Every structure is written in structure tokens, then in C-alpha cells.
Structure 1
Amino acid sequence: MTVMDDLLERGAVPEGYKVEIFDGEVIMTPRSPEQFWTVSEVQAAARAVGISRERVLGDVLVRFPGENDAAPDLAIVADAAGRHKNSYDCIDVLLVVEVVSRADDDKDYVRNVAKYGRFGIECYVIADPFKRTCTVMSESHATGYSKVREVAYGETVTLSLTTGERVIVDTSEFPVRSAEE
């Protein structure tokens, strides 16, 4: 049993909070309205192109062998992804979207880039309501991603999955936030 399993089993996670163990640190943050609304927009875009509800996950535990597990803001898994109680294996994850929760946090831009790339998650998107940009990464490798592009909020971004599926996301409805909030 992992530390995260123990926390979840004991109901130690307060409602409305997201808890992750990352590099040995327990990170507990309330989910912001911006995170919820952004994830909802991407989820709707995925469903609009025919990706089933069962493949689109939010704040669901993803197992990373030999490392701390994670619960991405949104993940899309393969058709044949195996569910293990309330978690999935990282090998089945095709796309991850993380929404930055603090303007000064490097978790999404540094630590997650290295981890998701190292474990072969082929498409990683960082939606940043503070910078008003989406950073789209593809072609994972041992230390991150070979292709990185920034798309300003307001533009349409196409997210290509290794299955050939393409999720077209209109970012004009993505909420923004100032660093002082």
C-alpha cells in the first residue's frame, strides 16, 4: 500500500482539495474555479470528437512504477486501459492536461515535464491562467519533450494522440487569473 492509498482509504483528503505526493512532498491544494472550468472545456472537446467518458479522467490516480504516483487535472487513457481499483497505469495514459494553480509554482513546468516525458506520456499540456497560454508538448523522451509550442488563450489548439485521435480545443473560454488573486 502506498502513502496515497493510505490517505485515500482513511478519507484524509478534505473535500475540494487535491493531494499529490511529489518528490517526497505532500502537496495539498484546493481546486480553483479556473482549474475546474479549464478541465471542463478540454473534457467537452474530447467528448465532442468521440472519446468516451470512461477514457477521460480528472484527478484520478495514475501509477508511476518506482516513483510517486500522480493525479493529473485531466488525463485521457487508451481504449484498453486497465483500471486497478481507483487508478490507472502511466503506460496507458495518452495525454495529460495540468492547470497551473499558483503563478510561482514550477511543479507543472519543471518536475511534471521531466516525469511525464520519462514515462512516455506522448502529449502533455500546461494550461496557465496567469500567463494566458497553453504549452503543448509532444515527442516524449528520457528528460522531457522534443517538441514544445505555446498557444495563446483565445486560439484553437489541436492535441494529437498516438491513436490518431485529435482533440480540438477552443481556448477562448479558458478563464484567466492575476497573480495577485
Structure 2
Amino acid sequence: MTAVDDRLITDVAKFFEDLVVPEGFKAELLRGDIVMMAGPDWVHNLIILHVLKQIPLDRWYPVQTQDIAIPGETSEPQPDLVVVEHGAFDGPGRLVPAPATTLLVEVVSKNSVHTDYEIKRSMYAAGRVPAYLIIDPFEAVCVLLTKPTGRGEEADYDMELTTAFGLPVPLDVLGIKLDTTEFRTLPKFKRYRRP
């Protein structure tokens, strides 16, 4: 028989900080909810690798497995790639303030569609992240979001540019055009749509 701990968690951020995540999984704190996911697949990792190798290291720090602090939110997401300009954040610490980032990148998985397109979109906009790039290997598109506005769950990006794989994505915030010709795709799946 397993004992159930029925104590009320009053500080989810503290609980999250002390959480032991099983090997092969990642955990994020998203608007007060702890979300755990299996590690990424091969296509996902190759896409991140292709993005990472195009970012000029003389001006930018492109890092993976970096937690972000969103001001005014009970959220500590871990984007697939975080790009910070040299000198914008010098640490130390596990959390990089969202306003110190220049670009956050998420690669969509079957389990992250809603999170990447909706929850993180408003969360990153609320955190004033200048650019958020969603890379969707199921739809073979990149969605670049810029010009964050609003607060909380109502926050959003004013500019949205969708680019098909194979075409360059203008990442003006980094001063580059992202080559997507090597991005692989995954078979489409039926996405749940709310009425």
C-alpha cells in the first residue's frame, strides 16, 4: 500500500525547486502547474542543433536546458533554446529573467502543441521576450512572434510570421536569416480542436 501525502502545497515554486525529476524527463512550472514531459526525440534535437549552429557566438549565448523566470507569473519554463546577448545576464543562478533574453525557441512535440502555441505564447509575451520562435516539424513551419504586448494570460505578440521549412526565417533580433533547409519533419497527427 502506498501512502498519499494530502498536505496542501502553498508554495508551488518552492516545491518545484526541490522536485526530483526522473532521468529522461524534464519538468516545467507553467502558470502554477507542474508539467513533466519525456525527453525530446531525434528530429527535435537535430532541429535545435541546426538552429544553434547558426547563431553567432561572438555576440549571443545560445543555451539549452536553461530555466526562465517570468516576472509576475508562477512560471519557470525551460525553452528548448534560450538566446541571451552577451552582458544581458551574467548569473549566477538557475533562472534567467525573461526580459534578459532575446529569443526563445520551442520545437513542437505531440504533447506540447497547446503549451507551445498558446500557454507559452502568452507567457513569453507577458515576460517581454522580444522574439519567440515556434518550430513545428508536424506542420513543417516556423512561427516567429515579435512585439510583445499586454499582461498575464491576455499578453500576446502583435507580429506573427509563418514560414515554411526550406525558406529562410528573418531573425532580425539576432541579425541573421535562419536557414531551415535541414529541418526534418514528423508525420502529421490529428490535433484536438475545441469547439
2:84–2:100 Cα contact (<8 Å) kept: yes
Specify the SS of the correspondent of 1:45: coil
Alignment root-mean-square deviation, CA: 1.9
2:184 matches 1:178: no
Mark the CA change 1:172 to 1:108 in structure 2 (over 3 Å): closer, same or farther.
same
TM-score (norm 1): 0.85
Residue 172 of structure 2 corresponds to which residue in structure 1? 160
Task: Please list, as runs of the form range in 1=range in 2, the aligned pairs for 1:1-181 lying within 5 A after superposition.
Answer: 2-7=14-19, 12-30=20-38, 31-47=40-56, 50-52=58-60, 55-67=61-73, 68-80=75-87, 81-102=89-110, 105-142=113-150, 143-161=155-173, 165-179=174-188
How far 1:104 moved relative to its partner?
Answer: 7.2
* Separation in 2, partners of 1:4, 1:37: 29
Percent identity over the alignment?
Answer: 25
Following TM superposition, the consecutive aligned residue runs of length 4 or more in structure 1 with deviations greater than 4 angstroms are: none
Larger relative helix fraction: 1
Q: What whole-Å deviation, never above 9, does each CA across 1:82-104 have from its counterpart, x for those lacking one?
A: 31322211120110010001177
* Separation in 1, partners of 2:143, 2:33: 25
Give ranges in structure 2 of 5+ residues lacking alignment: 1-12, 190-195
Q: What whole-Å deviation, never above 9, does each CA across 1:11-55 have from its counterpart, x for those lacking one?
A: x222332211213322222212222111111110103x7344xx1
Q: What whole-Å deviation, never above 9, does each CA across 1:62-89 have from its counterpart, x for those lacking one?
A: 1123321111100111222131322211
Larger relative strand fraction: 1
How far 1:178 moved relative to its partner?
Answer: 1.1
Give ranges in structure 1 of 5+ residues lacking alignment: none
User: Which one-letter code corresponds to 2:186 in the other structure?
Assistant: R
Mark the CA change 1:86 to 1:126 in structure 2 (over 3 Å): closer, same or farther.
same
Q: Work out the number of aligned pairs and report it.
A: 170
User: For the pair shown, which has the larger CA radius of gyration, 1 or 2?
Assistant: 2
